[in-house]
């Protein structure tokens, strides 16, 4: 089998439109740029508040970038998945299977990258003063004196537990999209036995189900945080 670069095809306009119909585009928080010079010399705003406003704008700019790439990954992986259910040549089948595996890893990367940027924004918005390198989504609750935000973050973490497990399998463990036939040693009453592997693998439809759920969870997270930010 010879696969050429011409065999790889980007989503068509029609494929993109169909996927986007069923996927909510996630907008960032919308913190606007404000001139530092104006804030300091005309508005007499304190330096720490000037820095806060500037930092929020730039973190939000980063989030815009990540959310855009998350959406593109969503479209690309769904295109490869949906093409698997159509009549394919042998080359197309190999390419679509390969691209699906490739893009789901990219999706999970951008998903958690966006989540961590949201943690940075929360840190700046609420003046938690956690050093940038030490900001973690799961540890914000220890610093936040805001019950509503803590509930929002906790609910998101629970909903995306399977998403986190998938991401960790790609990054740190045996990939769940690879066939796993590993056996195991079994210790019973001091005697060691051997258990044969079951040839397990996570099916594409299960990844799709998780990705759809996690994408909606991300959209809800941003929506709920926007509502809380407006209150301040």
> Each residue of 31-42: pLDDT tens digit?
999 999 999 999
> Each residue of 101-132: pLDDT tens digit?
999 999 999 999 999 999 999 999 999 999 99
pLDDT, averaged across the chain: 94
Domain membership of residue 143 as a residue range:
5-231
| Residues sharing a CB contact under 8 Å with residue 199, sequence separation 6 or more, in sequence order | 179, 180, 181
Measured distance CA(213)–CA(163) in Å, rounded: 9
**26-32 average pLDDT score:** 96
For the cut 90, the answer to whether the pLDDT of residue 190 exceeds it is: no
Please choose, from the candidates 181, 173, 178, 183, the residue with its C-alpha nearest in 3D space to the C-alpha of residue 203. 178
Do residues 120 and 140 touch, judged by C-beta distance below 8 A?
A: no
Q: How many CB atoms lie within 10 A of CB 215?
A: 19
Provide the domain count of the chain. Answer: 1
Q: What is the pTM (predicted TM-score) of this model? A: 0.92
Measured distance CA(105)–CA(166) in Å, rounded: 9
**202-216 average pLDDT score:** 96
Least reliable range by pLDDT among 53-57, 114-118, 183-187? 183-187
Measured distance CA(78)–CA(208) in Å, rounded: 8
Identify the band that residue 24 occupies on the pLDDT scale cut at 50, 70 and 90.
confident
Cα dihedral 163, 168, 169, 171 sign = positive
For the cut 90, the answer to whether the pLDDT of residue 225 exceeds it is: yes
pLDDT at residue 198 in the model: 87
């Amino acid at each position: 089998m010879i696969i050429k670069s011409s065999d790889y095809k980007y989503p068509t306009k029609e494929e993109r439109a169909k996927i986007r119909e069923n996927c909510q585009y996630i907008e960032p928080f919308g913190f606007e740029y404000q001139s530092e010079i104006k804030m300091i010399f005309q508005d007499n705003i304190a330096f720490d508040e000037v820095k806060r406003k500037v930092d929020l704008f730039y973190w939000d700019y980063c989030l815009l970038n990540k959310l855009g790439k998350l959406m593109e990954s969503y479209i690309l992986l769904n295109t490869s998945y949906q093409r698997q259910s159509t009549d394919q040549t042998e080359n197309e089948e190999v390419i679509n299977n390969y691209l699906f595996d490739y893009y789901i890893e990219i999706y999970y990367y951008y998903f958690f990258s966006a989540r961590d940027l949201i943690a940075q924004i929360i840190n700046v918005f609420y003046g938690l003063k956690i050093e940038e390198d030490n900001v973690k989504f799961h540890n914000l609750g220890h610093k936040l004196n805001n019950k509503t935000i803590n509930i929002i973050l906790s609910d998101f973490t629970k909903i995306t537990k399977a998403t986190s497990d998938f991401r960790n399998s790609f990054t740190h463990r045996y990939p769940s999209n690879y066939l796993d036939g590993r056996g195991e040693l079994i210790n019973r009453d001091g005697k060691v036995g051997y258990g044969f592997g079951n040839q397990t693998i996570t099916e594409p439809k299960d990844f799709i189900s998780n990705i759809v759920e996690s994408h909606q969870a991300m959209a809800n997270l941003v929506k709920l945080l926007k509502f809380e930010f407006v209150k301040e």
